[in-house]
Amino acid sequence: MTSPGTTPGTAPGTPPVLGIIGGSGVYDVDGLENKRWERVASPFGMPSDELLFGELDGQKLVFLPRHGRGHRVPPSELNFRANIDALKRAGVTEIVSVSAVGSLREELPPGTFVVVDQFVDRTFARVKSFFTTGLVAHVALGHPVCGRLGDAVEASLRELDVPHRRGGTYLVMEGPQFSTQAESNLYRSWGCDVIGMTNMPEAKLAREAEMCYATVAMVTDYDCWHPDHEHVTVDAVIKVLLGNADRARSLVRSLAPRLRHREGACPHGCHTALDHAIITAPGMRDPEVVAKLDAVAGRVLGGG
């Protein structure tokens, strides 16, 4: 357990550790050294898969297959808490989520990468917090992604000449079915830009775990609002998916050295999100809940 006032990986002079959450195609990055798969246990259950540890140009990376290798776990059954907790235990300090999405905007065609800055959470069958009866906390989520990470992602996409847009709202639906046309048009009327099934409560839990978080939403096709949606073939979608995976690997390759030189905690407050979040009085905290949160909230809980 960490002592109050310290966070692994955020103390001055401590190199950051970059976590990547996404599909299996993202992990075959050229130049990744010292690779090893390792199971990281979590008190919140089993993560989606083992974690892949490695180094890229001296930057430590940890990869998590969100749905498990072979895409075994559907969105509603992902153990988001175990995934984020395991990454925290592995020393990860910043997370980049790479996610396939549908487009809700004509100007965001397949193949576009969107550096998301907002979410609308429409999920309903998922546990969304590490905190529960016996230890209550409320973190700020007005700005749910890290602007510093977003800057780095945007710079890499520009360098790679990948079609992209900085800023956009990601509507997270429950799934596993896709939306109806009425729902798709409703989400467009709300000002949402892309739609997917995976980034909530992932982003919320990353904030509770005091980790920087950014989403790279990779458009595979237009959602069903689009008049050409019904004419899209499986072959066309697979072609876009493969192209997006190639670009995602290049993004990781470019991004890693950009994040190597952070000193101290994130200036956007990601690494200190729990400073004023815990409401339950120290004497009333459930010791069992405190023990489960040794990685997520050990910095502020100290000895409980």
Whether 221 is a known active-site residue: answer yes
- Cβ neighbors of 229 (< 8 A, separation 6 or more) are 221, 222, 223
pLDDT attached to residue 10: 63
Q: Could you tell me if 273 and 141 are in contact, meaning their C-beta atoms sit under 8 angstroms apart?
A: no
Per-residue pLDDT tens over the stretch 171-211? 999 999 999 999 999 999 999 999 999 999 999 999 999 99
Per-residue pLDDT tens over the stretch 143-158? 999 999 999 999 999 9
pLDDT attached to residue 209: 97
pLDDT attached to residue 261: 79
Q: Which amino acid is at 206?
A: A
**Number of domains comprising the chain:** 1
If we measure between CA atoms, which residue out of 301, 286, 293 comes closest to residue 134?
Answer: 286
Quick check: helix, strand or coil at residue 154? helix
Does the pLDDT at position 61 exceed 80?
yes
Distance CA 291, CA 298 (A): 9
- Whether 7 is in a domain gets the answer no
Q: Which amino acid is at 16?
A: P
- Whether 2 is in a domain gets the answer no
Does the pLDDT at position 252 exceed 50?
yes
If we measure between CA atoms, which residue out of 124, 137, 69 comes closest to residue 276?
Answer: 137
Q: Judge if the upstream peptide bond of residue 176 is cis by omega within 30 degrees of 0.
A: yes
- Whether 170 is in a domain gets the answer yes
- Whether 302 is in a domain gets the answer no
Domain that holds residue 218: 17-296
- Whether 303 is in a domain gets the answer no
- Whether 3 is in a domain gets the answer no
Query: How big is the chain by its Cα radius of gyration, in Å?
Result: 19
> Residue 263 phi/psi, 5° resolution?
-115, 125
User: CA–CA distance from 115 to each of 124, 149, 267 (Å)?
Assistant: 25, 10, 19
Does the pLDDT at position 2 exceed 50?
no
Whether 121 is a known active-site residue: answer no
Does the pLDDT at position 4 exceed 50?
no
> Residue 62 phi/psi, 5° resolution?
-135, 125
- Whether 4 is in a domain gets the answer no
Strands (E), 128-168: 164-166
Of 30, 57, 221, 235, the active-site residue reads: 221
- CA angle centred on 230, ends 236 and 103, rounded to 5°: 70
- Whether 44 is in a domain gets the answer yes
Distance CA 33, CA 167 (A): 33
Of 85, 117, 121, 223, the active-site residue reads: 223
Quick check: helix, strand or coil at residue 100? strand
Length of the chain: 304
Per-residue pLDDT tens over the stretch 84-137? 999 999 999 999 999 999 999 999 999 999 999 999 999 999 999 999 999 999
CATH number, domain of 242, equals 3.40.50.1580
